[in-house]
Structure 1
Amino acid sequence: MPHDVDLIILLAAGFGLALVFGYFAARLRLPPLIGYLIAGIIISPNTPGMVGDIQLANQLAELGVMFLMFGVGMHFSLNDLMQVKRIALPGAILQIAVATLLGIAVSMLWGWSFGSALVFGLSLSCASTVVLLKALGDRGLLNSVNGKIAVGWLLVEDLVMVLVLVLLPATAVLLGGKALTDSSATQNIWLTLGITLLKVTGFIAFMLIVGKRLVPLIMQFVARLGSRELFTLTVVAAAVSIAFGAYKVFGVSMALGAFFAGMVVKESDFSHRAEEETLPLREIFSILFFVSVGMLFDPRILIDDPIHVLAVVAIIMIGKTIAAMALVLFFRYPLNTALTVGASLAQIGEFSFILATLGVSLQLLSLEGQNLILAGALISITLNTFIFSAIEPVQNWIRERSHLARLLERSGDPLAMLPDEVSQDYLRDQVVIIGHGEVGRRITRSLMSENIKVVIAEENREIVEDLREKGIAAVSGVATEAGVLIQAHIQHARLLVISPMDIIDIHRIVDISRTLNPQIQVLVCAESKEEAEVIRKEEIGEVYFAKEEMAKNMTNHILNQIQIAHHQSPTH
């Protein structure tokens, strides 16, 4: 009996080719999504051989977008953003503006309309969170100050793009496109925009007032049943139904609905479990999304319009990178931070694809524009690994040219020097603490409660500003540089406390400190048992390892309780 198997063919071919090319991409140390895009190109109508059903692919892509946005919502951390808000917020908005203006200028030179140019420029302005997190994770930079700034920067970009996805359909007619619904096309554009913003506000208010309480409550209720599949189903149902409800009831995009679904799930006590349980499903639909995007790409653009493709790649990898680096240096962050953030943004990804697809459906962007965006994404993601690898050589090259280094690095930075209010008497026999993370904060609080003098050396300028507002002596900079330790007056310090960090950096800090102050005592917080053993073996200083200290404290507590019980027993 004949039956329709188009969906099965599409899934079999899509997943099979995605696996093969994803494997080769990973072997070449490239993000696997490059392989998924190539798999889509192979089964697209634009290349010879097998052709997948493009309509089915588009529907699967919609699901992919929903799960991608759900994942973005689950990873969105207001706390992470707040830690770097003074650089990430203005930096990301200005960088988006610069990249968008570059895209508009270039495309209008090609004779495009302003509406097309605007969508094109916005699509080139936002980097891929997926690519960035993988690049930072591979290099162990996710928890570093540079990594947190880059992630915070992308969180702001994501929020801006969510807002663009909401506003673009409402302004499509004004920009020369068509409305998604006939009714909105006949309305006054400002009325349409006002109604859209009202609906979005209503949806956000509903999610913050009702959704934030109801979804975690349902998850808690289901979790008590102890059924793993029911719990997974609850999270998936929440993502899909909130996304669809947002579209049907409030008239906002399903992408925004899924984003807020992720945010309210994150509020639950079961957020970690929800993330783990839904990860395979989210990754499957993300793969389908990238395959379907590849199916839309026409490789002939690389031969027909190579100059246009090069212009797009230049905006993404040179224009955006230089703009981001200039902004980071303007905010007086070190050269290494500027290079890391610049490299992080030298690519485009999922939001660019979503925006380009929406632009085409609104008749604001041509298929040529979409193909140029896809070509730019493929090339920039492929080359992004090499840009990250070039950070250290470029930094060394700049520092070898002292005039260039002086021009780019911070000069006369007030946070790089202790304030005048810190007296010379205070800077004798003080404790210098490197890093003000959770460990550094607790040590500082305890020492200051005992009136022990403390000086903090911290990379994050925002933390240094906050410490100074509280009257705590703090200096901004990377402690592996002698200048930072000299500013902290390490030469007169009694004790050096080093928060968990890379063993190579610990070596550098201790070497500089002992050169300036041979008598200084060193206390090191180790990140792992292996690191603690290395520090002890090399006699770098007194070492403390969290699990080891916890075991010691618990053992002492148990022994004390046993002794108390022993003395209280009737036989004594």
Structure 2
Amino acid sequence: MEILWLGLAYVLGMVVKQLKLPPLIGYLVAGVILSAFGVSDENGLLHTIGHYGVIFLLFTVGLHLRIKNIVRPEVFGAGTIHLVISAGIFLVIAMAFGFSAIEGLIIGILLGFSSTVLAAKTLEARSELNAFHARVSIGILIVQDLVAITVLALTGGGIPSVWSFGLLLLPLLRPLLFKLLTSSGHEDLQLLYGLLLAMGGAALFEVLGLSSELGALVAGALLSGTHESDELSEKLWGLKEAFLVGFFLEVGLAGLPNMNELLFAGALFAVLPIKAVLFFFLLILFKLRSRNSFMVTLTLTSFSEFTLIAGMVAASSGFIPESTIIVFALLIAVSYTVNAPLSAKSNSLWKRFEHKLIPLERNVKHPGQQVVSLGGAEYLVVGMGQAGSSAYDYLKERDYRVTGMDSDPAQIEYNLGKKRRVVYGDAQDAELWENIDLSSVKAIMLAMPYADTKIQATKMLRENKFTEDIYALTMRDEEHQALKEAGANAVCLPLIQAGRKLAEISISDEVDGSMSLNFEMNSFE
């Protein structure tokens, strides 16, 4: 039976993926099909797998919890106001369909959330995780996740033990937990430690009469804010996704909605465009530029997997009818189907509507506002990681006027600490290249990690009449042609050039221990 579950989930997930949609839609459909043929989770295996998937998901959310990212006005303010207004609208609709005020309030709050998984995957696919609008999106999602955890804690049932007050002392364990994390290295022991902490935190809270999901989140938060926690989160990503397949299959096994539930789902889905418009104007109110507001809006216009997770807990405790979960699953699947293709085309959609949306932004200094002057720099290095900072230092040591640019605040802060002149700029933002003064710049070096970002930045530079040299660093030979067509003058492929240089050294009669590898740029004719 397990092979049947996995096989159908894989096939339908693959079909949905070919349609450029999130595979979890396929998993939900697989569950519905299995339900239609009378298949059920008799031994509770799917429930157990899905539960651990939720535990690992919340643990990774805790690992990314940054207080400074959610206390910003545009994040906490816009996110909170949006959730309150959305919940109020959904409450009215739910009560119109016969739900009580308490049931409607829970349903309204849960439907106010946006999808963390879809947003993270979409931003990663567009290579925009470090952009300002991405940080605002993730910050709002964390605010929503914290509310979801509160709902989980309040609807989980049971009375907390008097010993639960001892959990307030958990932050005192942070130094020890962090030391164990660093001592675990970077391989399988690190992953095992993460699983132990996630499941241990969940079990501890459950024993004390609190939500196991809340325990997993707190366990992750105890390690947040470090490079090692980010590395652990990346290791857990695939495992968490695999276990969540069980969760979505279990939801699908609930079957199809009846006519009344379909009407309820249709009325709720009609609010999604209102959620989008509300997001945009709230962010404008909190001084964001129109483009950033538009990008955040596209990223967050969906219903959330947390709606299902918290909804199932609330339903199992009797706070909302179990039939509501079928409605939630349908709403999430349809919203993902609508959002995924729109988010993939976000930049082209912005270009289409920017002339109408830019006049709506406020005439104030905007959060995340980008530089317009490089102070007479002759060279601009975009992407101040290891390669970019090395290029910067090389030019600086030879007394050239050089400026670095990055979209990651942590990277900017690090480079400023090294006495490098680095400014904030999102290379994928067309408005940056439209407004910035490049009149004194002789060459631009693109050292960002993602190929699509380099190609898009090159195109926008050429579209804005930058005629000087553009050099790009890439790791794959197949990106040559795309960069050439975009307008790059030359490309450096360090791995290929390093291999050739090693071969040259190996057959040379003049080899000594101090010989270094010198790379050359491949220029386009």
TM class by smaller structure: 0.7 to 0.9
Indicate if the aligned counterparts of 2:251 and 2:326 stay in contact, CA closer than 8 A.
no
Amino acid at match of 1:124: L
| Cα RMSD after superposing both structures | 4.8
Question: Structure 1's 329 and 165: CA in aligned 2 closer, same or farther, altered over 3 A?
Answer: same
Deviation at 1:244, TM superposition (A): 0.8
Deviation at 1:506, TM superposition (A): 1.1
| Residue 519 of structure 2: aligned partner | none
Distance in 2 separating the partners of 1:537 and 1:19: 37
Aligned pair 1:22/2:9, yes or no?
no
| Residue 296 of structure 1: aligned partner | 254
Question: Structure 1's 19 and 461: CA in aligned 2 closer, same or farther, altered over 3 A?
Answer: closer
Distance in 2 separating the partners of 1:211 and 1:563: 44
Higher helix fraction: Structure 1 or Structure 2?
1
Indicate if the aligned counterparts of 1:499 and 1:524 stay in contact, CA closer than 8 A.
yes
Alignment of 1:394-409 (within 5 A): 394-399=349-354, 402=355, 404-408=356-360
Distance in 2 separating the partners of 1:352 and 1:490: 47
Aligned pair 1:311/2:302, yes or no?
no
Indicate if the aligned counterparts of 2:444 and 2:470 stay in contact, CA closer than 8 A.
yes
Indicate if the aligned counterparts of 1:86 and 1:462 stay in contact, CA closer than 8 A.
no
| Residue 27 of structure 2: aligned partner | 36
Amino acid at match of 1:286: L
| Residue 168 of structure 2: aligned partner | 201
Distance in 1 separating the partners of 2:22 and 2:486: 38
CA-to-aligned-CA distance 1:328-356 (integer Å, 9 cap, x gap): 44455454433332222222232111211
| Residue 103 of structure 2: aligned partner | 116
Indicate if the aligned counterparts of 2:190 and 2:232 stay in contact, CA closer than 8 A.
no
Distance in 1 separating the partners of 2:442 and 2:413: 25
Deviation at 1:144, TM superposition (A): 4.9
Deviation at 1:389, TM superposition (A): 4.7
Alignment of 1:97-176 (within 5 A): 97-142=84-129, 144-166=131-153, 168-169=154-155
Structure 2 alignment gaps of length 5 or more: 517-525
Deviates more, 1:338-347 or 1:470-479: 470-479
| Residue 247 of structure 1: aligned partner | 206
Of 464, 472, 488, the residue aligned with 1:512 is: 464
Deviation at 1:95, TM superposition (A): 3.1
Deviation at 1:78, TM superposition (A): 4.1
Q: TM-score of the superposition, structure 2-length normalised? A: 0.75
Distance in 2 separating the partners of 1:474 and 1:284: 40
CA-to-aligned-CA distance 1:373-401 (integer Å, 9 cap, x gap): 222112212222233255355434324xx
Deviation at 1:413, TM superposition (A): 4.8
| Residue 211 of structure 1: aligned partner | 177
Distance in 1 separating the partners of 2:293 and 2:232: 36
Indicate if the aligned counterparts of 2:205 and 2:211 stay in contact, CA closer than 8 A.
yes
Alignment of 1:282-431 (within 5 A): 282-300=240-258, 303-315=259-271, 317-389=272-344, 391-392=346-347, 394-399=349-354, 402=355, 404-408=356-360, 411=363, 413=365, 427-428=375-376, 430-431=378-379
Question: Structure 1's 239 and 340: CA in aligned 2 closer, same or farther, altered over 3 A?
Answer: same
| Residue 189 of structure 1: aligned partner | none
Distance in 1 separating the partners of 2:216 and 2:278: 31
Aligned pair 1:259/2:236, yes or no?
no
Distance in 2 separating the partners of 1:271 and 1:508: 32
Deviation at 1:297, TM superposition (A): 4.9
CA-to-aligned-CA distance 1:474-511 (integer Å, 9 cap, x gap): 57676774x74575432244554444332242143145
Question: Structure 1's 462 and 533: CA in aligned 2 closer, same or farther, altered over 3 A?
Answer: same
Distance in 2 separating the partners of 1:252 and 1:24: 40
Indicate if the aligned counterparts of 1:120 and 1:373 stay in contact, CA closer than 8 A.
no
Aligned pair 1:50/2:39, yes or no?
yes
CA-to-aligned-CA distance 1:225-276 (integer Å, 9 cap, x gap): xxx6x8866654443233212321x433211222344556786969858964
Deviates more, 1:451-460 or 1:157-166: 451-460
Q: Secondary structure at the match of 2:38?
A: coil
Q: TM-score of the superposition, structure 1-length normalised? A: 0.70
Deviation at 1:531, TM superposition (A): 4.1
Question: Structure 1's 43 and 508: CA in aligned 2 closer, same or farther, altered over 3 A?
Answer: closer
Structure ID, larger Rg = 1
Deviates more, 1:487-496 or 1:537-546: 537-546
CA-to-aligned-CA distance 1:151-207 (integer Å, 9 cap, x gap): 4443443344234423x24xxxxxxxxx823x56xxxxxxx9xx79845534x4255
Q: Secondary structure at the match of 1:105?
A: helix
Aligned pair 1:61/2:50, yes or no?
yes
Amino acid at match of 2:313: L
Structure 1 alignment gaps of length 5 or more: 1-8, 170-178, 185-191, 565-572
Distance in 1 separating the partners of 2:262 and 2:89: 18
Distance in 2 separating the partners of 1:89 and 1:546: 43
Question: Structure 1's 439 and 312: CA in aligned 2 closer, same or farther, altered over 3 A?
Answer: farther
Amino acid at match of 1:338: S
Distance in 2 separating the partners of 1:231 and 1:471: 34
| Residue 438 of structure 2: aligned partner | 490
Question: Structure 1's 214 and 434: CA in aligned 2 closer, same or farther, altered over 3 A?
Answer: closer
Question: Structure 1's 471 and 336: CA in aligned 2 closer, same or farther, altered over 3 A?
Answer: same
Aligned-pair identity in percent equals: 20
Amino acid at match of 1:380: S
| Residue 521 of structure 2: aligned partner | none
Question: Structure 1's 495 and 411: CA in aligned 2 closer, same or farther, altered over 3 A?
Answer: farther
Amino acid at match of 2:250: S
| Residue 520 of structure 2: aligned partner | none
Distance in 2 separating the partners of 1:334 and 1:349: 26
Q: Secondary structure at the match of 1:296?
A: coil
Indicate if the aligned counterparts of 2:403 and 2:422 stay in contact, CA closer than 8 A.
yes
Indicate if the aligned counterparts of 2:31 and 2:252 stay in contact, CA closer than 8 A.
yes
Aligned pair 1:503/2:455, yes or no?
yes
Distance in 1 separating the partners of 2:298 and 2:260: 29
Distance in 2 separating the partners of 1:165 and 1:116: 14
| Residue 187 of structure 1: aligned partner | none
Distance in 2 separating the partners of 1:125 and 1:110: 18
Distance in 1 separating the partners of 2:31 and 2:112: 24
Deviation at 1:34, TM superposition (A): 1.3
